[in-house]
A and B are shown apart, each in its own frame.
Chain A
Amino acid sequence: MIILAMDALDHNLVERYNCKNLMQTEHGQTDISDFELPRTVVLWASFLTGKNMEAEIPVETQWEFKLAPDKTFLRFFGSCLAIDVPALSLKEKNHAEERKLLKKYFDDKASLEDYDSLVWRNHEENKKDFFGSLGRFDLVVAYFDLADAIGHLSFGLAEKMSSVYVELEGIAREVKSSATDLTLVISDHGMKPVGRFGDHSENGFYSLNREWKLKLPKMTDFYELIKQKV
C-alpha cells in the first residue's frame, strides 16, 4: 500500500485545478469536525492510531510528539517505511529549519524566496526518498508539506499555488504509472486564504485508487478501514 500524506492538500483546489491523478478513482472531503483545532501533528497522529489524539498532544511540544509504530496501523504490515511522517518519523532537522526560516521571514531577516527554496529542497528530498522506496516495502507512507509550507505564506497567490498543485499532481501521476498498489492520498486539513497568506481550514481531502465508497470519512476511520482491507 502507498499512502501519500499531503499536508494541507485542499479539496477545493484539487478540484479547481482538476488534478485527476490526485483525485484517483474515488475522492472526497474528510471530516475533522471532531477536532477542536486543525493541528497538523494531532491530525496525523489520529490518522495513524485511529484515535483522537488532541488531548494527548500539547500545542507547545507538538512537534516533539512521537508514536511507537506498534501503536499505529503500521503494525498490520510486514515491512513499512514512513518518510518524514509527523508524530512518527518526522525529519526534525528539516522542519526545524523551515520553522526557523519562517520566523526569520517574519522578522524581515529572510526573504520569501529563501523560505520557498528551503521548502522545495526538503520536498525534493522526500520525493527522492519516496520514489526510491517504491516496490521495496509492504507499506510506504510519504509525507509532503509543500502545500502547507508554501500555502502559509502564499495561499493568496494563485500562480504559486497552481505550481504547487502541478507538482503534487505530478507525484500522483508518477505513482499511478509505476505502481498498482492500493494508494491513498490524504491530507490533514485544507487551507483558506488570509489576504496573501493562508490558514488551516477544515477542508481536508482523501482519494483512493479503489472504490471504497466512503462518505465524508473521519480521519480516525482510516485505521480500521486499512486494517480491514489489508
Chain B
Amino acid sequence: MSLPNINLVVIGHKDHGKSTLIGRLLYDSKVIPDQKLQEIRAELQSSGKNQFEFAYILDSLEEERRGGLTIDIVHTPFKSERRIYTIIDCPGHKEFIRKMLTGASQADAAVLVASAKEGIQPQTKEHLFLIKILGVNQLIVAVNKMDTIEYNEEAFREFSESLKKILSSLDYNDVPIVPVSALYGENVTKKSDRMEWYEGDTLIQVLDNRVKLPKPLSEKPLRCVIQDIYDFEGKKVTVCKVETGILKIGQPVTVMPTMEEGIVEKIESFGREAKESSPGDSVGIVLRGVSEIRRGYVVTGVAEKTEQTREFVAELVIFSDFTLRSGDIVTIRLGTCETKCKIEKILRKVDPVDLTVKEEEPESLENGEVGRIVFRALEPLYLEEYSDFPQIGRFVVLGKRGAVAAGIVLEKRG
C-alpha cells in the first residue's frame, strides 16, 4: 500500500538551519542514494570540510535540479514509517506568496525552524504571517541549534514561551514545539539522549502524529473551472478542469455565477466518452439545459447551494511598480475568470516583517506592500475563501502590463 503524501513548507529565518534540518530529514530517512552521499562526502573533503554538512545535500540536489529542464520548488520527498513528506521551498516573502498564489504549491502543514541561539528574528515572524494568511493552519515548531546552547532546558522553555505569544497572536494555539539539533540529529528522527528533560516526541513522530492528512480533492464538493467553449457538430462543448469533487454523467449541476442549473449529458476525455472525471482532469462536457456559459464560469454540484459574491475581503501583496488606491477600478483574474472590481476600501496596511498594522484605512498601497482590502465586484462573481478552496480563492490583479498584485480571499461578504 502506498503511503499518504503530505506537503510541508519549511519556514524560518535564513540562518536558523532550515537547509540543515531538511538535509538531515532526507539523510535519516535514507532517500539519498549511497552513491550521491559518497559524491557529497568527496566534494566536501576536497573543499577542506571534514564535518559532513547536511545543508550541502540540499545544495547538491538543487544543482542537480537546475541542470534539468525545470526548476521546481519541490524538494525530494522524505519518508517516515507512515507517510511521505514533500517539502516545498520557501525562498522569500514575495517568491513564496507568488508561488502559493500561482498554485505551484499548496502546503498541508508548516514547520517553523527557529534557532535557540539567535532567537526570534524578523523573517521568522514574516513567514509565520504569510503561512497564516495563506491558510496553512497546521504548524509545528522545531527549535534548532540546541547544541549551541548546550541543550539547556531553561533556555528552551523561555524561548518557547516567547514563541507561544507570537503564535497565539496569529491564532496558532497548542502548537507542538520540539527542541532539536539538526546538525547532530538530536530529536529529528531519533530521540535525543542529550535532552532527557524533553519527554515529547521527535520531530518526525510529531509530524506523523499531529499533522492531519488533507482531505482528498475527490471528496471535496464539485468545482470545475471552465476554460473554453466550442461549437462541435451543433453542440456546445464546454472544456473544463475538474479542480475538486467527481463529475459524473447525469449529474445535476449549477453553473456559477449565473446560477443556471443543468445536467451533465456527456463527458469526453482524450477523445473518448467517460462516465466520470476526477480532480486534475481536463474534459469536454455537454451540459443540457444551460443557455449561457463562458470561460471563467465554474460548474458546481446542485446540492451545494453555492452563492454569487459581490463583495469580499482579501489580503493582497503588490509586487510590481503599481499603486492601488481606494476607489480604483481594477481587473482581477481568478482561475480563468477575468472581471472588474472596485477597491471599496483599503482596511489596513500590514507590515509583513513585524506583524504590526502600519496604517489603518490608508489611501493607497505601493509596490512591496501588503494590505487587507474590501473588493466590490462590478458584476456577480463566483469565488470561495482561500482556506476552503485555494483553487478558486486566489487571484491576481492585472495591470496594463500583466499581473501587478496577488491576493487571497479571506472572507466572502455576499
Q: Which residues of A contact B (CB under 8 A)?
A: 36-37, 106-107, 193-197, 199
Contacts and interface: CB of A to CB of B under 8 A. Distances in A.
Most chain B CB within a 10 A radius of its CB, from A37, A106, A107, A194: A194
Contact of B337 (A36, A37, A195, A197): A195
Given A37-B401, A195-B339, A196-B379, 6 more contacts: A106-B329, A106-B378, A193-B338, A194-B331, A195-B340, A197-B340
Contacts of A196: 339, 378-379
Contacts of B342: 106
B344 to A, nearest CB: 10
Nearest to B295: A193
A197 B400 contact: no
Contact of A197 (B296, B339, B401): B339
Given A106-B329, A106-B378, A194 B339 contact: yes
A195 B340 CA distance: 7
A195 B400 contact: no
Nearest to B339: A195
Contacts of B378: 106, 195-197
A37 B400 contact: yes
A195 B329 CA distance: 14
A194 B338 contact: yes
Nearest to A153: B378
B332 to A, nearest CB: 9
Nearest to A103: B327
Q: Which of A106, A107, A193, A195 counts the most B-chain CB atoms under 10 A from its CB?
A: A195
Q: Which 7 pairs across A and B sit closest by C-beta, in order of nearness?
A: A195-B339, A197-B340, A196-B379, A194-B338, A37-B400, A194-B331, A106-B342
Interface size range on B against A:
10 to 19
A191 to B, nearest CB: 13
B293 to A, nearest CB: 13
B172 to A, nearest CB: 37
Contacts of B400: 36-37
6 contacts: A37-B400, A106-B378, A194-B331, A194-B339, A195-B296, A197-B378
B397 to A, nearest CB: 12
A58 to B, nearest CB: 15
Contacts of A194: 331, 338-340
Contacts of A107: 327
Nearest to A192: B338
Contacts of A197: 339-340, 378-379
A202 B340 CA distance: 19
Nearest to A105: B378
B377 to A, nearest CB: 9
A197 B329 CA distance: 11
Contacts of A36: 400-401
Contacts of A106: 327, 329, 342, 378
Interface string B391-414: 000000000110000000000000
B6 to A, nearest CB: 37
Nearest to A195: B339
Interface in B374-392: 378-379
B336 to A, nearest CB: 11
Interface string B320-334: 000000010101000
A187 B337 CA distance: 28
A199 B331 contact: yes
A195 B381 CA distance: 9
Contacts of B296: 195
Nearest to B296: A195
Contacts of B339: 194-197
A196 to B, nearest CB: 5
Contacts of B337: 195
A191 B329 CA distance: 17
A220 B172 CA distance: 60
Contacts of B338: 193-195
Residue from B296, B342, B400 whose CB has the most chain A CB atoms within 10 Å: B400
A108 B6 CA distance: 46
A194 B399 CA distance: 13
Contacts of A195: 296, 337-340, 378-379
A196 B377 CA distance: 11
A36 B378 CA distance: 27
A195 B395 CA distance: 15
B228 to A, nearest CB: 14
Contacts of A37: 400-401
Contacts of A193: 338
Nearest to A102: B329
B176 to A, nearest CB: 45
Interface string B335-361: 001111010000000000000000000
Contacts of B331: 194, 199
